[in-house]
Amino acid sequence: MDSMPEGTSTGAAPEQTHAPAPRRIKRRLMGALIVLHALSLAAAAVLVLRSRGGEAKVRGEGDKVLLSLSPKESVGWVSIRGPIMSSEGGKLWERGAEQWARRIEQLADTKGVKAIVLDINSPGGSVGAVQEIHSRILRIKREKKIPFVALFGDVAASGGYYIASACDKIIAHPGSLTGSIGVIFSVSNMEGLFSKVGYKVDPIKSGKHKDIGSPARPMSAEERQILQGLIDDAYGQFVQAVADGRNMTPAQVKPLADGRIYSGHQALELKLVDGLGDSVDATKLAAQMGGIKDDKPRVRRDTERLNDIFELLEMRARLFLGLSPAGVTLTSVAALPRGLLYAWSGGW
């Protein structure tokens, strides 16, 4: 076969070149947003259908049909896992005190939910975040008369126990770690390190205590006294919350509240929990307290499932765009927020 003359077209498509990087990123972003939007609409539709509650039961003789739309009685279930902190981004699917509190309230407002189980696996967290969830539980109990049962996982210490103390009953595994009733405020002194590298901090402040807790200098005796006063005040709030929730006096709680941790078995002997068991036991107890007669009560986790869907979508989108997964952070003490913590430091 004769070779084609130079420059003659063969009809074949010219070799494609890759689009510029900014254009590829833009296309990926648009595609990810479209997928996220479509899936979020689908997930929301499923949630709306589920939230209508029960099942349509059709019974009839001949042309007579009885349609029942009453929601089936169920036990609500919310899992509180990891450090209890205030969320930063404010996203609907983010894990944080506000989101957990909202999910608890949503379940309490759901027709057919007669009781709620809080599945707690947390070493605690910041004082404000812990108290946000604690106060929300107390308000729901007071206004809606819905009983709460706390279930302890591996760890339900410090702030995790603070939240549980608002519940009507507490169930723990024999080997669960709990207790650590107390407050901590960590202050680092890096003056020696700073001097070695030639780094010096010279603050200009409005008052002598404005830089209290600065890692660039030693703490004065007066400053230590000020911070100790904060600790004592927050500690008193913790002790009072436990005393109120466990039908004890502060004098009875204080000997147990020196910061030590207990096993679930030890906590039962000290009356810090009401029983030993697993998720089935907690569900049955909650159903009984809520007046549900079914031996195998239905567990409702719809809002949690939607939350997990959004988290999964965000993670997939970030991986698709070549970004680091959201929420992957160091859990060392140095990464913790500064301030008062209802937290067991050994659980971080």
- Residues 290-307 have pLDDT tens digits of 999 888 889 998 555 555
Name which of 149, 99, 87 is nearest 120 in CA terms: 149
Q: 142 in helix, strand or coil? A: helix
The predicted structure's pLDDT at residue 306 = 55
Q: Provide the percentage of residues in the chain whose pLDDT is more than 90.
A: 50
The DSSP result for 251-317, as a single string, is HHHGGG-SS-EEEHHHHHHTTSSSEE--HHHHHHHHHHHTT---SS-EEE-HHHHHHHHHHHHHHHH
**Is 51 in the active site?**
no
The predicted structure's pLDDT at residue 294 = 84
The predicted structure's pLDDT at residue 22 = 64
> For residue 331, what pLDDT band results from cuts at 50, 70 and 90?
very low
**Is 293 in the active site?**
no
Q: 105 pLDDT exceeds 60?
A: yes
Q: 26 pLDDT exceeds 60?
A: yes
Q: 149 in helix, strand or coil? A: strand
Mean pLDDT for the chain? 79
* 93-102, 181-190, 280-289, range with greatest mean pLDDT: 280-289
**Active-site choice (144, 145, 210, 271):** 210
Of residues 219 and 251, the one with the higher pLDDT is: 251
CA distance 158 to 161: 5
Helices 127-144, 97-109: crossing angle, 10 deg rounding? 10
Rounded average pLDDT over 149-163: 97
**Active-site choice (122, 158, 165, 176):** 158
CA distance 94 to 208: 39
CA distance 158 to 336: 15
Strand pairing report for 275-276 and 261-263 = unpaired
